[in-house]
Amino acid sequence: MDQAHTKHIVLGITGGIAAYKAAELARLLIKQGFTVQVAMTEAATHFITPATMQALTGHPVLTNQWQDDKGMAHIQSSRVANAIVIAPATADFIAKLANGLADDLLSTLCLARNCPLLVAPAMNQQMWANAATQRNVQQLIADGVTLLGPVSGVQACGEEGMGRMLEAGQLAQDIAAAFQPKILTGRKVLITAGPTYEAIDAVRGITNRSSGKMGYAIAQAARELGAKVTLVSGPTALAHPHGAQVVDVTSAAEMFEAVKQRVSDADIFIAVAAVADYRVAQASEQKIKKCDAKLTLELIPNPDILAYVAALPDAPFCVGFAAESENLREYAEQKRRTKKLPLLAANLAQHAIGADDNELILFDDTGEHRLPRTDKLTLARALLLHAAMLYRKGKSK
């Protein structure tokens, strides 16, 4: 985010053991370009110190409403905030919010806000299940408050059940998603990602160095824009994107079959996977033993998944990817025209594969659109906004 578009978040921390996660959450939000102002209840300071949060955010921590000369910290802080996030939100603080109580700085700040409020509950599983807590939660939802979690898991008390706060990484994603326009709400997006693995024998195979990071980032970005996402993924080391339906496959043939089964239901198809162009004609079920003689493998072409989908009579809006090592513009535009794609994203493979950042050139009927080098999630968001614009134009014709 540039300075003109920087989003300001008030991160409220209340008195629960999950307060330790707020430090990592603040760090991740700042990494995404947000500015973070921390406000803590008195109880929260017993779990994590204001000095820690000030060091992470670069801003003095608000702990009481008399910190400024006029005693108006709750008004001033809420007016500049684009959102208030309470993480963790204890059962006690949720009860305050649900009933409009304002007996400390943080609850007063929430009551005086004119921006969205996002709440990440964290409490013992019996406290979460209590009828009073559930009534309070339903009241918050009715009041337009966004709940982030909780989830089920092992808790600090040793019990296991619902009430565990989401991890900082997931919270950071969900908070960022709240700022994205929901322009794909109601649309179904089918994405392929990662490499494929074509077996040679029981232990060897043909694959490539694709990490799957770009495809997974696009899945997350599509979810942020409101889409229902299905991700067909080759073998990667990545955690499944939150909220997406993930179909794990290994070979190009398996990926092709998974896409064929689901493409009729898709509005948009994005082929990000680095599918192996060839497979072994006859893979051995047993390990081929090493010997002094040459080993000759017969390779046959794999199906072109993107070409198949783009040629369907009622094809979804198709977005292709081209990873080239040279002549990027020439080869990318040639691929787009050959497969009759409305949009193709191209990059140099040697600068993209396995990296956390990248740059893309988008090719469509109007020409080229360069997306400068940045992290892959930011690129994915920009790509999806461009794709959504073209998709809506196509639907309006």
| Distance (Å, whole) CA 394 – CA 397 | 6
Q: What is the pLDDT of residue 2?
A: 38
| Distance (Å, whole) CA 222 – CA 183 | 9
- In the block, residue with structure tokens 């990926």: 255
- Same structural domain for residues 121 and 265? no
pTM score, two decimals?
0.81
| Distance (Å, whole) CA 165 – CA 181 | 26
- Same structural domain for residues 154 and 80? yes
Question: What confidence tier does 74 reach under pLDDT thresholds 50, 70, 90?
Answer: low
- Same structural domain for residues 256 and 294? yes
Asked whether 141 and 97 are in contact (CB, 8 A), the reply is: no
Task: Give domain status of residue 316, yes or no.
Answer: yes
| Distance (Å, whole) CA 211 – CA 356 | 10
Q: Is the pLDDT of residue 3 over 50?
A: no
Inter-residue long-range contacts of 294-298, CB under 8 Å, 24+ positions, other chains counted: 297/200
Predicted confidence (pLDDT) per residue in 45-55, tens digit = 999 999 999 99
Residue 360's CB: how many other CB atoms inside 10 A? 25
Q: What is the pLDDT of residue 128?
A: 96
Task: Give domain status of residue 85, yes or no.
Answer: yes
Predicted confidence (pLDDT) per residue in 79-110, tens digit = 788 999 999 999 999 999 999 999 999 999 99
- Same structural domain for residues 196 and 153? no
Q: How many domains does the chain have?
A: 2
3-state SS class at 108: helix
- Same structural domain for residues 229 and 151? no
Instruction: Choose one of 178, 211, 236: the last residue of a domain.
Output: 178
Chain-wide mean pLDDT for the chain? 91
Asked whether 12 and 86 are in contact (CB, 8 A), the reply is: yes
- Same structural domain for residues 229 and 365? yes
Q: What CATH number does residue 105 fall under?
A: 3.40.50.1950
| Positive or negative: CA dihedral 328, 330, 335, 337 | positive
Q: Is the pLDDT of residue 115 over 50?
A: yes
- Same structural domain for residues 138 and 279? no
- Same structural domain for residues 93 and 42? yes
CB environment 36-66: b (16+ within 10 A), e (fewer): bbbbbbebbbebbebeebeebbeeebbbebe
Residues ≥6 apart with Cβ < 8 Å to 296: none
- For a pLDDT cut of 90, what percent of the chain falls above it? 73
Predicted confidence (pLDDT) per residue in 309-362, tens digit = 999 999 999 999 988 878 888 889 999 999 999 999 998 776 667 677 888 999
Domain residues for the domain of 19 are: 3-178
Q: What are phi and psi of 364, to 5 degrees?
A: -140, -170
Q: Is the pLDDT of residue 145 over 60?
A: yes
Residue 372: Cβ-neighbour burial (10 angstroms; 0-12, 13-18, 19+): exposed
Task: Give domain status of residue 63, yes or no.
Answer: yes
| Distance (Å, whole) CA 376 – CA 122 | 31
- What number is the average pLDDT over the span 14-38? 94
Instruction: Choose one of 136, 152, 178: the last residue of a domain.
Output: 178
- Same structural domain for residues 208 and 97? no
Residues ≥6 apart with Cβ < 8 Å to 69: none
- Same structural domain for residues 390 and 282? yes
* Phi/psi-derived region of residue 258, left when phi > 0, alpha when psi is between -120 and 50, beta in every other case: alpha
- Token pair of 147, please? 């709940």
Instruction: Choose one of 122, 153, 178: the last residue of a domain.
Output: 178
- The DSSP code for 227 is -
- Same structural domain for residues 243 and 152? no
Task: Give domain status of residue 183, yes or no.
Answer: no
Q: What is the pLDDT of residue 272?
A: 96
Pairing type for strands 188-193 and 268-271 reads: parallel
**Catalytic residue set:** 157
Task: Give domain status of residue 259, yes or no.
Answer: yes
Task: Give domain status of residue 231, yes or no.
Answer: yes
- Same structural domain for residues 387 and 255? yes
Task: Give domain status of residue 87, yes or no.
Answer: yes
Q: What CATH number does residue 217 fall under?
A: 3.40.50.10300
Task: Give domain status of residue 205, yes or no.
Answer: yes
C-alpha to C-alpha distances, 355 to 121, 140, 210, 213, 341, nearest whole angstrom: 34, 41, 9, 8, 26
